[in-house]
Structure formats: structure tokens, C-alpha cells
Structure 1
């Protein structure tokens, strides 16, 4: 149950990061067209990069590349929250995600545990 809870939290964090990028894109765009383009393109590009390099079924990755992409995506999502005027939420998001990823990583290293 604990393992599945952590995996669910990791998936929700990925979805939240996509949402943060959409909100940041909307805020960063100057014109209505730019707002729409950024609000749609940033999450789509992030999802594609995640699917190629960080997803559990990623086809073009290495363990190091997987971690680099995760750190970049979640770190940039935290920075985006900060720049939107929510520094505590940004830091809190990054801390929760880091703790979650650490727990999942440690669970994978335990002998006899599927992972």
C-alpha cells in the first residue's frame, strides 16, 4: 500500500508540474495568442520529453538521463511557481517531490522488493 501511495503521489506531481507550466505559460505570454501558445506548448513539450527520457517505459534513456530530466522538470516547475508569486508553494512542491522520489528510489534498492 505504501509503495502504491508513493507511486500515485509521483504521478500526481507529474500532472501538477504540467499544470504549473501551463499557468506559467499563460502568465508569461504578452498577447492572447502568445498566452495560448505557451499555455499549450510548454506542457506538451514537457510531456514529450518526460515520455522519452523520464517515464518508467521511456525508450531513449539511461539512469543518469532519467534523473537529469526529473530534476529539471520538477525544479523548473518549482521555479515557475516562485516566479508566479508563490515562493512557499514552489519550495514546498520541490521538497515534497524530492522526498517522494527518494522514497521510491530507496524502495527499489531494498532486496526482495519489486521495483
Structure 2
């Protein structure tokens, strides 16, 4: 899950655009936080230890697969913007929901606001 483009040559596109570059770094960090939050939630779900382990492994795995197939810069399948945003909503929103489900509603709300602002800025900058 990366927020940047096609490798070292894409770094040239970040020069002279510090806000874009900073937002791309933040986007990557938020993606990692979302996946980690899904794992954290899964491992802390009440119930049998086997179910917790299964959720702790499968929830982030499903998120990473979805991201790689549909939302990553070099995704296997190209979707229109609405489709990419839908996948981002499921994965990133799922991360915020996982924080909420783990018992931290304030942190979940802050994460959700930052995710929306970051994704909005990222798409705005990418389309310019």
C-alpha cells in the first residue's frame, strides 16, 4: 500500500511540491495505521482465542488485498475514481471503525477526520 507513484522516477514529480509530498507521506502512514488498526481490533474481539487470531490475521489481509487490487497506484485492476474512493472508504474507514470497535471512540473520530481530509487533499492534488 503506497501513496506514491511508479518508483524512483516519480520522486521527481514531488520536487517543488512540498504540500503534495507531505500529504503523500501522511497518506502512506494512514494506510499503515488502518491496516494495523484492523489487526488490533481483530485480536481484541471478545470470544474464543481462535476467532480472535483468525480476525486479527484475516481483517488486515483482506484490506491489503483489496487495496492492492483496486486502490494502489499500480493496482491490478483500474477503477474509475468513484470505485477507488469506495475501496479507500472500506479499507480506511474500516480502520477507523476498528479503532472505535476497540473501545476508543475519540481516537476513531480524529482518525476519520484526518483520513477524509488527507484523501480529499490527495485526490485534489493528483487531479491538478
- The TM-score with structure 2 as length reference comes to 0.79
2:71 matched to which residue of 1?
54
Aligned pairs (5 A) from 1:96-107 = 96-107=114-125
Q: What residue ranges of structure 2 are gaps of 5+ in the alignment?
A: 1-17
Q: Contact 1:29–1:38 at 8 Å: present in 2 too?
A: no
| Structure 1, unaligned runs of 5 or more | 111-115
Whole-angstrom CA distance in 2 between matches of 1:21 and 1:55: 18
Q: Which of the numbers 82, 90, 102 marks the counterpart of 2:100?
A: 82
- Counterparts of residues 1-115 of structure 1 (less than 5 Å): 1-28=18-45, 30-62=47-79, 63-110=81-128
Aligned position for 2:11: none
Between the two structures, name the one with larger relative contact order (CA 8 Å, sep ≥ 6).
Answer: 2
Distance 1:67 1:19 in 2: 20
- Paired residues, number: 110
CA distance, structure 2, for counterparts of residue 32 and residue 88 of structure 1: 27
Partners of 1:29 and 1:39 lie apart in 2 by 12
**CA–CA separation in structure 1 for the residues paired with 2:23 and 2:125:** 10
Query: Secondary structure at 1:76's aligned position in 2?
Result: helix
Q: Deviations over 1:53-106 (max 9, x none)?
A: 111111213122111000111222212211221111111101101111111112
